[in-house]
Structures are given as structure tokens and as C-alpha cells.
Chain A
Amino acid sequence: GQSLEQPSEVTAVEGAIVQINCTYQTSGFYGLSWYQQHDGGAPTFLSYNALDGLEETGRFSSFLSRSDSYGYLLLQELQMKDSASYFCAVGRGSQGNLIFGKGTKLSVKP
């Protein structure tokens, strides 16, 4: 079977740091990605980890440990606009098809 687990909700205050964890169990693995989706909007790509380690893009960083089937998204210097749902997704095949986790709703408070 295939499953991705991530927390359903996280709340944090402006300026803080938050980490969203993702564990996965899939039949194939072609990297771990993170997507952001605001209410009513389309998902947008944030990051991609093919190999173990940390990838940094501005305020966002993503980490992968393939041996632990685990990754996380780290958001620093939180802003109100970061309030959204964040999905981890595993690449499953050579065509780039993705299996998404259930999403983590992040609420940033003043």
C-alpha cells in the first residue's frame, strides 16, 4: 500500500519557526516534494528532495531521510500569508506522478 502521514493542523505566531513532518510508505520513490495550497487556490510547488539532506529556498527549507522514510518542511520567519495547507508528495513513477499526503493546515496568528 501507499500512505503519507503528516499532522492535520499546526498553529504558530508571526515570526516563529514551524516544522511540518511527513512520513511515507510507498511502493516506488522518486523524491519528496512539498506543495502549498491557499483556500480555494491551486497547489504551488515549494521544494523537492531527491537525495538525503537539507534543501533551502529562502524562508523555506526541506529535509529528507530516505532510510527513515521521513522528511520535513521548515518555515522560518512566519508571515500571515503563510497560512495555508501544506502537502507532502512522493514521486511514484518515472512519469512524475505524485501521491499526496492529507495536508497540514497551518494557521499563523498575529
Chain B
Amino acid sequence: GAVVSQHPSRVICKSGTSVKIECRSLDFQATTMFWYRQFPKQSLMLMATSNEGSKATYEQGVEKDKFLINHASLTLSTLTVTSAHPEDSSFYICSARDQESGNYNEQFFGPGTRLTVL
């Protein structure tokens, strides 16, 4: 099955620093990847849709200058949380679509990154 990896799995940083999270599709090419944020015991909130070779599409209310997304290749998308603050502490999950999948809504999720900003 399609596998998506995410790195790092956990990161603790000081307020004001930037953190980069990588999302990779290991055995398929993903022209489209998605970034979500999930608070404890809550739903997944779509932050942005990342398209290979073009600018990401951000959801309403998500600051594009704070959450920088780059999708430079068919297997890698990165999310950089710039000037992180404690309120940015959350679980960040990426997912990818496999264009070969017959299920239109099937996304393969990475294991997530737990970000804690002190």
C-alpha cells in the first residue's frame, strides 16, 4: 500500500524560532499533498492544499506567511512554521493522493508531527 512518511515525529522549540516539517510519499508520486492541523480529541482541520510546482492553496483563516508550504518534487512537500508561538503547538499531519487510486477521496496520511512551542 501507499506509504507517507513525516519528519520529525516530535519537535520542541522556543518561541520565535521556525520549524520545518517534511512529508514524503515513499512509493508513489503525489502531485497533490495536504496539510492538516489537529488539536487533542478534535477533528482534522485542512490548512492548505499543496501542488507540485505551484503555490499552495490556503484555507480561509490560515496565514500563508506564517505557514510556508513548498512542494518542490512529486514526493516531497514541506511545511515551515515561521516565528512559532505557543498557540502554534499542535499535531500537524500531512496526506497525499495517489493518482492511480480508484477511490477519489482516498488520502494516505503521514504519522504526524507533534509540535510544542515553549
Q: A residues near B, CB below 8 A?
A: 30-33, 41-45, 48, 50, 87, 89, 91, 93, 95-103, 105
A100 touches B44 (CB 8 A): yes
List 13 additional contacts besides A33-B106, A45-B108, A100-B45; criterion CB under 8 Å. Answer: A31-B104, A32-B105, A42-B93, A43-B93, A45-B105, A45-B107, A50-B104, A87-B44, A97-B34, A97-B49, A98-B107, A102-B43, A103-B43
CB distance from B80 to the nearest CB of A (A): 20
B interface residues, Cβ below 8 angstroms from A: 32, 34, 41-46, 49, 51, 57, 93, 95, 97, 103-112
Contact B44 A43 (CB under 8 A): yes
* A109 → chain B closest CB, angstroms: 20
CA distance A48 to B32 in the complex (A): 19
Whole-angstrom CA separation of A109 from B109 in the bound complex:
28
